[in-house]
Structure 1
Amino acid sequence: MKKFKKKIKMIVEKTDTGLSAFSTDYPIFTTARTISELFDHTLEAANLYFEDEGVQIIRDNLKFELDFQQFFQYYKVINAKFLAGMIGMNPTLLSQYVQGHKKPSDKQTEKILMGIHRIGRELSEINLIHRSR
């Protein structure tokens, strides 16, 4: 099996029943109820598409893109005001990005994404304990 060397861009959209993902460059598309399921289904669909070419697609070959509005609709647990404070951005401006009233520059997008990744890292390092009384 040959390794695929490119990134396959997958556009993610929220649907009434979950999520969908489709490629703008290849006839690859799938649906799922959760993000993790969507990642698995997309990998399976991509490998199915490239099967006849003897090419193996791995998770690193897939690049998922989700717009701000849909991201905050799906991840309702992330508070935009809290995120804005964390990254030093005006909360009103971030709210306008989230609502689709304004489009962030590449620099602003990177700043927001770095904040989201920081929250993810912090959450992944937390261990919760339960103490009985």
Structure 2
Amino acid sequence: MAKRKIIMTVEKTDTGFSAYSERYPIFTTGRSIPELINSAYEATEFYFEEEKVKLEPNDIKFEIDFKQFFKYYKVLNAKFLAEKIGMNSTLLSQYVSGTKKPSTKQAEKILSGIHQIGQELSGINLLQTA
């Protein structure tokens, strides 16, 4: 009962999203990201059912390219993110459009900035005014 690490590549489709593993024949779809993630967990558990492999949520990693990430998360402005992480906004726009590919170091810097914004947002409560 060896632990498995599954990487699922996420792509935007006309009807929602799809995800697939290059290492295992696991494919799934969903109309939204949360639906896709749930579907991916179900598909992965089904694939490993006979091997009786117990999967934890952190055993499955989801990857999405910059262009598709910013296409889906339109609320995250590339210019704002560039300013937040100290990157040239034109360069980040080129990564987002796919005309340039970021180095591993740049990709980590961008992801770190996205995570930082996510943490900031998760710590905010909105006040309701009358």
Give the match for residue 98 of structure 1: 96
What TM-score results when the alignment is normalised by the length of structure 2? 0.97
Q: Structure 1 residue 79 and structure 2 residue 58: aligned?
A: no
Structure 1: gaps of 5 or more residues: none
Q: Structure 1 residue 131 and structure 2 residue 129: aligned?
A: yes
Q: Is the contact between residue 27 and residue 40 of structure 2 (CA under 8 Å) also seen in structure 1?
A: yes
- CA-based RMSD of the aligned residues comes to 0.9
Determine the C-alpha separation between the residues in 2 that align with 1:98 and 1:54.
40
Give the match for residue 49 of structure 1: 47
Instruction: Output the amino acid matched with 2:111.
Output: L
Q: Is the contact between residue 4 and residue 55 of structure 2 (CA under 8 Å) also seen in structure 1?
A: no
Give the match for residue 118 of structure 2: 120
Structure 2: gaps of 5 or more residues: none
Residues paired across the two proteins, number? 130
Determine the C-alpha separation between the residues in 1 that align with 2:38 and 2:119.
22
Instruction: Output the amino acid matched with 1:71.
Output: F
Q: Which runs of 4+ in 1 moved over 4 A?
A: none
Give the match for residue 22 of structure 2: 24
- Determine what percentage of the aligned residue pairs are the same residue: 63
